[in-house]
Structure 1
Amino acid sequence: MSMKWKSLLLACLLATQLTGVANVASAEAARVPAQADSQQSSEQPSQGEGTHVNPALNSNEGQRNKAVEMENPEQEAEEYQGSEGLVGSESNAETESGQDQAAVNASGIDTSIYGDDILVIVANSNLMVLNNVEYRAPQPITVKNGVSFVSLRTLVERFGAQLDYDSKTKESIISFAGKELRYQIGTKSYKVDGTAAAMSGTSYLQDGTFMVPLTSALQAFQMPYKWEAATKRIIVELAAEPVAKFTIAPKDIYATQTEVKVTDESYHPRGLKIINQEWTGLETYYAEPGLHTVTLRVQDESGAWSEPYSVSFNVLPKHEPPVADFKTDKETYKMGELIQYTDLSSADQGFTLEYEWNNNKPAFFEPGRYTITLRVTDNLGYQNEIAKTITVTNDLLYTFEEFNLVYSKPGEVYDFKGSSITSMKLLKPTIRHNQRTMFRSNSPESIVENGIIYQDTITGGTRIFMHHRNATSKNMNLYIVVKNISSTPTTVEVEHYGLAGPNPYPQETGKRAAVKYFDSFRNISGIMSQQVLKPGEAKVFIPELSQTPLKPEHIYSMYADFFANNNVQYQIVALDSNKDVMKELSKLEILESKDNHIRGTFNNADRTFTIDELIGDTDARLVFGDNTNDPIIQGWDAVTGQQRKNAGNYGVLYKVTLNRVAPNTAISFNGRGGSYAGALLVNGETVQLPTNGVLRDANKANIVYRTGDKEEKVEILFTPAAGSSMPVNLIFQQIPKAHS
C-alpha cells in the first residue's frame, strides 16, 4: 500500500476514535446532576473562622449529588434510607465503576481564582460549581419579595452535612460540625441546637423541593460568602481554620498553692478533629504573684493552625493558712460549772472560717481532765487545729438537771427525765372558746389527681389549716380560692398566715409553717392583705402558695386566718402546674377522703387558757391536746355531712394567759405523744421547738422562757404543728439559786 493510502486510513481511524470520545463526553454531560442557588443582593460576607480546606468537602462523599427532592418531606424521609438516585428524568449519579460522576466544567467557571474549597452559586440559575465541578439543583434560585430562596438539600450536600427527617415534628434535621439545625416548611425561623433563629423569609415547598432563604442558610451553616455583582455570582468559602479557646479556674489563684485547671473549649467550625495543641505560659502552679498570660494554638487534622487565643489573669500572693485558737475563762472547774469559750482564731483578710468543735461542752458532770479541740477551715480549704485541756474537780456546783434550768437558751434541747412528769402538779386552767371556724384540709393528705380537696361556706373569722403531699408523678399547684356567694360586695381579709414548703420533710414543713405563722402576729395592723369580691366573684388568695409548684413527694403546710363580712366559699384546689385554675375550676370534682387524716369544718377553733394562781413555786405542768384535760373540738365534713373529731386539736390556736408566774421560773416544752417540731409565741417573741432538729421523745425538752427576779405575767400563743405528735406539756420549774 502506498504511503498516501496509509496516511488516509490512519486519519479515518483517528477520526472515528475522536468521534466516539466526543459522544461519550456529550452523554456524560447530559447525565450530570447540577444544583445551584442564587442571591440577588449586595450583602457583605459573614466573618469566617479561617481558610483551611476541610478534606471531607473534597472527598467523593462531599461531591456526591444525592439530592433527591421529593414531593413531600415524609417521602424524602423514606428515600433517605437507601436511595442515592435523582428524581425526574435524571439518571443514577454513579457510574458503573462506582465512582461519583463529576461533570466537566462546561460552564467555564474557574473556582480556583477565588481560592481553595470555593463554591460558586450562579444567580438566576440552578448552576453551582464546587472546586471546578458542576452541579445542578432541581429548582433554580427563586426570588420572592426581594429574598432569594435555594434548595436546602442542595446546600446540605455541597457542605458535606447529614440530612434526616423527623416525621413527628415535620422538621428537616441537618447535622453539621457538631451542631443540629432544624428547618420546617412554612416558617420564618430555624433552630440551632434547640434555639430558634429568625430567617429573612418564609420557607416553602416548590415542585417537591424544600426552599429556604439563601443568606439565612449560609449564616446558619456559618459559611462566609460574598456577592460578585459583575458576574452575578455568590462566592461561598467552605474552608475554615480551627478555633482555639479555653477557660482557666479557679477564680482566685495563689502563688505556689493553687492548682490551675484548664478547660479546653477549642473547636473546628467544619467539624474537623483537633490533633495538636501548643501552649505557652501555662503552669500547674505559679511560683510568682502578678499578671500572667496563657496562650493556646491548635492544629486540625489537615495541618492548619488556629490564631492564638490568650487569657490573662492575676496570681495573688501566697495565702497564709488560718490559725485556730481559743481560750476558756479558766483552767479548773467544778462539776456543773459553766465553761465560757472565747474564739481567738484568725484568717487572712477577706476570708471566712468554718468551725468544728469537739468536746466543747458547756459543763462537765464527772471529775477528770478533758481535752477540747477546735479545727478551722478557710474558703480555700486550708485547715488548722488546736487542742486545750481543762480540769474538773470533785466539787459539785450544779447537777445536770439544775444546770440546764439555769443555763440552757430558749430553743436548746436538753435531756429530761420523762417519767418525772407524772409527779408534777397538773394545772387546770379556765377554758373559754372564741368563735373562729377552722377549715381543716388534710385529707386526702396525699394528692393523686386534680380536684377540689375540700370546700365549705363560712362567714366571719376562719382559719385554714392545710397539710398536703404531692403523690403524683408530675408538678402540682395548690390554690386557695375564695368566692363571694352573697348578693352584696364582700371584703375578705387575710389577718395572719404562715406557709412552708415545698419540701419532702413533713415535720420540718409543719415547724416552719408554725414559725412563720407566729412571726406574722408581729404585724401591727392585724391585716396582711384584703380583697373586695363582687357578688359571684372568685379570686385566688395567698398567691405565694401557687407560685412554686409542688414537686412529686413534696409537701406544703399552712396556717391562715381569714375574715369575711358575708358568706364566702373557701376551696383548696390541687391542679397540674401547667393549667389555669380559674379556667379549670368549674370542671373539677371534689376529691374523696381516702386516708386516715382529717378534713372538716370545726367551730371554736380559738381556745383560751387562763391561770390566775401562782405558778412555778413548785414543779407543775400544763397539758395540750390529750382529750382529757384539754377536750378535742368536733365538727363535720361539709362534703359528706359526716361528723368529725379533730384529734390532737391541730389548727386550734391556744391563747394562754399566766397571770402570776413566780420569780426565777423556767418554762420548758416537752412532747408526750412522740417526736415534735414546731413553735410558739412567748410575750411577742417566736420560740422554735426546738431551734435545731426535733424533740425526739418524752425524755427531751427545751426552755421557752425564764422569769426574772420578780413575779411576771406571761402570755403564750400555741398551735399544734403539722407532722408532729400530740399531746404536749408546758413544764414550770424553779431555777436553782445561783451558786458560786
Structure 2
Amino acid sequence: MKFNKTAFLLTSISLLGLQTYAQELTKAQNQELLKAKQGAVVRLEGFLTEKTPVIPYLKFPTPGPQYIISDDPEYIRVPEAIALKESVVPGTVRFYLYNVNGVKEPQQIDRKIIAMIKNTGKAPMRIKMLKYVTQKPSTNYFKLGKEGLASFMAAQPKEEVRIVKPGEAVPIDEKLEQYIVKYDELVHGFYEFLVDQPAEITVLQTDLKTSGKDALKRITNVLPPKTKSGAGRGLYGVANYHVNNTTVIDTKNGTSALVVADGVSDPWITGKEGTTGQMAKLAGNYGVMYDVELKWKSTDGKGLALITWNSRSADNKWCSGMAAAMKVSAGKFNEGIIQLPKDQLVTKAAPEAVLIQVFKPTGNAEEQTIKLTYSPPGASCLPTPLVFVPVDL
C-alpha cells in the first residue's frame, strides 16, 4: 500500500485554526461541477489546495469485528514463506489480504498466495461468510483497490456455512487455490466472516502444485514484519469509526474539508503482531470503515458539492494516482456506492477533482445530515480529503 509518511504540517496548522484560505469557484467552474456526472473528473484550475480550512470532528470506535490485515511485507521476496499468522477468538473477523509475488532472484517465478484458517478449538467450527470479495491477481493495483472496496461495501452475507473439524485447516477463499500469481501481481482479498471456535489465520506463498493444506504443514519460516514495504500486519481491535462534525457546515462560510486517515489528526490504529508479540501499527488505517455523519445548512441559499482529489501527487512517483470508492447519501444523485473516479481508472493531480455528490439546500436554512461510508483506498497515498464546496444551483 502507498501511504506517504510525510508530516502533514499544513493539516496540523489548519486544525489549530492558524491557517485560513479563501476558495471560491469561478462561474465557469461552478457550471462544470453542476453539469458533471457523478464520479466524473472535473478540472478546477487554481482551486484545489491543502490549505483548505478543515472541519473539526469527533471520532470514536464503534463495535466491530476483530480486524486482521496482511500487508507487511507487501512484497513476498522468497519462493515459500508465511507472510502472516494470527489467532482469533470466536466471533466476527474482518480480514484484508494485500500481498504481492515479489520473487525475482534468481529469476521471476509464478506463485500462489493462499489464506488458510485452522480450527484450533475442541469442537467443529462453523464459518459463515458475511462479506466476500475475491479478485484475480493483477499488476493494476489501483483497479483492485477501487473495485475491491466498492464490492466490499456492497457485499451481502452468504447462506453457506462451512464446517471445519478440530485441527483441520481450509482456505478462507477457495479461489486463491486456483489463481496463478505472476511476478509483481497483487493478491487482493477483502473478507468478513463469523466463526464459533478459536482459529488461526495464515497467509503463505508457495508453488503452483502445492495445496494450501500441504503448504501449511510444510512451510515454517515466517517473514519478519517492519519491512520496507507495506502498511502493516497484525490483529487490531478497532475496525470501525463513527465521525461527526462539531461545528455545523454552513455554505456562507465557504469551502471546507474533512481530513481523516492522515496520521496526524486521525492517528493510525494499533494492535499486536502475532508471531513476535510486538505492537503493530497500521500506517494508513486501510480496511477501517468510517461511518461519517455531517450536519450542514445553507444560510445563503447555496448548495454544497462534495469532491475529492489526489492531494499527495507531488510527494513521489508512488503518489501519481488515486482511486477510491465511497457510499454517499442522496442529493442530486441517488444514494449509493460510487467508484472514484467513475469515468477513468485514477485521478492524477490538481487541477483534477472528482465529483461525489451535490446536496441541495432546504430553502429555510434548516439543518440537514450528510452520511458517508469511507475507507482509506488501498494503493493510494493518503490523505484523500473530502472537500465541501458551496455552489450556486
Q: Same fold (TM over 0.5)?
A: yes
From 341, 344, 352, give the equivalent of 1:690. 341
Query: Distance in 1 between the 2:353 and 2:339 partners?
Result: 12
Q: Secondary structure at the match of 2:183?
A: coil
Give the conservation status (yes or no) of the 8 Å contact 1:498–1:518.
no
2:238 counterpart (574, 579, 604): 604
- Which whole-Å deviations, capped at 9, do the CAs of 1:276-305 have from their partners, x for residues lacking one? xxxxxxxxxxxxxxxxxxxxxxxxxxxxxx
1:633 aligned onto 2:269: yes
| SS, match of residue 566 in structure 1 | coil
Distance 1:589 1:528, change over 3 A: farther
Cross-structure match for 1:587: 218
Q: Residue 177 of structure 2 contacts residue 211 of structure 2 at CA under 8 Å; is this kept in 1?
A: no
Change (3 A) 1:528 1:455: farther
- Equivalent position amino acid for 1:735 in 2: V
Are the equivalent residues in 2 in contact too, given 1:616–1:733 (CA < 8 A)?
no
Partner of 2:7: none
Give the Cα–Cα distance (whole angstroms) in 1 for the partners of residues 189 and 372 of structure 2.
Answer: 20
Q: 1:614 to 1:433 in 2, by over 3 A?
A: same
Q: Distance in 2 between matches of 1:546 and 1:664?
A: 50
- Equivalent position SS for 2:150: helix
Decide whether aligned partners of structure 1 residues 499 and 616 sit closer, same or farther in structure 2, where only a CA change above 3 A counts: farther
Aligned-pair CA distance for 1:659: 4.8
Q: Pick one of 130, 145, 150 that aligns with 1:510.
A: 145
Q: Does 1:403 align with 2:59?
A: no
Q: 1:708 to 1:698 in 2, by over 3 A?
A: same
Taking the aligned partners of 1:588 and 1:572, their CA distance within structure 2 comes to 11
Q: CA deviation at 1:421?
A: 4.4
Mean CA deviation greater in 558-567 or 411-420: 411-420
- 1:315-354 pair list within 5 angstroms: none
Match of 2:167 among 510, 531, 536: 536
* Residues 640 and 671 of structure 1: CA distance in aligned 2, closer, same or farther (over 3 Å): same
State which of 29, 40, 60 in structure 2 corresponds to 1:412. 40
- C-alpha distance in 1, partners of 2:127/2:246? 37
1:439 aligns with 2:65: no
Runs ≥4 residues deviating over 6 A = none
Give the distance between the partners of 1:477 and 1:615, measured in 2 at CA: 49
Q: CA deviation at 1:511?
A: 1.9
The counterpart of 2:127, out of the listed 469, 492, 503, is: 492
Residue-by-residue CA offset, 1:500-558 (whole Å, 9 max, x unaligned): 331112222222221222231xx3xx446432323222211221233221122222212
Assess if the C-alpha contact under 8 Å between 2:81 and 2:221 holds in 1: yes
Match of 1:679 among 325, 343, 367: 325
Partner of 1:658: 294
Query: Which is higher, the Rg of structure 1 or of structure 2?
Result: 1
**Partner of 2:166: helix, strand, or coil?**
coil
Aligned residue in 2 for 1:478 = 113
Quote how far apart the aligned CAs of 1:702 are: 0.8
In the other structure, the counterpart of 1:615 is: 249
The DSSP-based 3-state class of the residue aligned with 1:463 is strand
After superposition, the Cα gap between the structure-2 partners of 1:427 and 1:467, relative to the gap in structure 1 and judged at 3 Å, is same
SS at match of 1:434: coil
Does the Cα contact within 8 Å between 2:289 and 2:374 map onto a contact in 1?
Answer: yes
2:79 is the alignment partner of 1:449? yes
Q: Give the Cα separation in 1 of the matches to 2:281 and 2:350.
A: 25
> Could you say which residue in structure 2 is the equivalent of 1:646?
282
1:624 to 260, 268, 293: 260
Equivalent of residue 370 in structure 2, options 714, 717, 720: 714
Structure 1 residue 576: deviation in Å? 1.0
SS of 1:608's partner is strand
Question: Does the 8 Å CA contact 2:55/2:247 hold for their aligned counterparts?
Answer: no
Matches within 5 A, 1:167-246: none
Show the 5 A alignment for 1:455-474: 455-459=85-89, 460-472=91-103, 473-474=108-109
User: Is the 8 Å Cα contact of residues 119 and 166 (structure 2) preserved in structure 1?
Assistant: yes
Greater RCO, CA 8 A, separation 6+: 2
Does the 8 A contact of 2:111 with 2:180 survive in 1? yes
CA distance in 2, matches of 1:715, 1:688: 16
Call closer, same or farther: CA 1:584–1:430 in 2, change over 3 Å: closer
- Structure 1 residues 505 and 730, CA, compared in 2 at 3 Å: closer, same or farther? same
Q: How many Å apart are 1:730 and its aligned residue?
A: 0.8
Partner of 2:13 in structure 1?
A: none
Q: Which residue of 1 aligns with 2:197?
A: 566
For each residue in 1:547-591, what CA deviation from the matched residue of structure 2 results, as whole angstroms up to 9, or x when unmatched? 221122222212211222331111112221122221232111243
In the aligned structure 1, how far is the partner of 2:223 from the partner of 2:49? Answer: 44
C-alpha spacing 1:704/1:528, structure 2 compared with 1 (3 Å): farther
Question: Take 1:415 and 1:677, find their aligned partners in 2: how far apart are those partners?
Answer: 16
- Check 1:419–1:669 CA distance in 2 against 1; reply closer, same or farther (3 A cut): closer
Per-residue CA deviations over 1:201-221 (Å, capped at 9, x if unaligned) read xxxxxxxxxxxxxxxxxxxxx
Aligned length: 337
Give the aligned partner of residue 670 of structure 1: 309
After superposition, the Cα gap between the structure-2 partners of 1:634 and 1:536, relative to the gap in structure 1 and judged at 3 Å, is: same
Give me the whole-angstrom Cα distance separating, in 1, the residues matched to 2:385 and 2:250.
14
Segments of structure 2 that go 5 or more residues without pairing to the other structure are 1-24, 314-320, 330-334
CA contact (8 A) 1:677 1:689 kept: yes
The structure-2 alpha-carbon separation of the partners of 1:527 and 1:412, relative to structure 1 and needing over 3 Å to count, comes to: same
Q: Deviations over 1:183-204 (max 9, x none)?
A: xxxxxxxxxxxxxxxxxxxxxx
Opposite residue 56 of structure 2, the aligned amino acid is L
TM-score, normalization by structure 1: 0.43
Aligned to 1:384: none
| Secondary structure class of the residue paired with 2:123 | coil
Distance 2:124 2:296 in 1: 46
Query: Partner residue of 2:356?
Result: 704
Please give the alpha-carbon distance, in whole angstroms, between the structure 2 residues aligned to 1:615 and 1:424: 11
CA distance in 1, matches of 2:377, 2:159: 22
Q: Percent identity?
A: 21
The whole-number CA distance in structure 2 between the counterparts of 1:623 and 1:734 is 18
- 2:385 partner SS: strand
Could you tell me how far apart the structure 2 residues matched to 1:720 and 1:540 are?
A: 27
SS at 2:309's partner residue?
A: strand
Q: Deviations along 1:111-143, whole A, 9 cap, x unmatched?
A: xxxxxxxxxxxxxxxxxxxxxxxxxxxxxxxxx
Displacement of 1:676 in angstroms is 1.2
How far apart in 2 are the matches of 1:480 and 1:634? 22
| 1:333-389 Cα shifts (integer Å, max 9, x gaps) | xxxxxxxxxxxxxxxxxxxxxxxxxxxxxxxxxxxxxxxxxxxxxxxxxxxxxxxxx
**Alignment check: 8 A CA contact 1:405 1:736 kept:** no
Structure 1 position 735, deviation (Å): 1.9
How does 1:116-131 map onto structure 2 within 5 Å? none
Once the two structures are TM-superposed, the CA of residue 480 in structure 1 deviates from its matched residue by: 2.0
- How far apart are the structure 2 equivalents of 1:451 and 1:430? 38
Partner Cα separation in structure 1 for residue 296 and residue 84 of structure 2: 42
Structure 1 residues without counterparts, runs of 5 or longer: 1-396
Deviates more, 1:594-603 or 1:627-636: 594-603
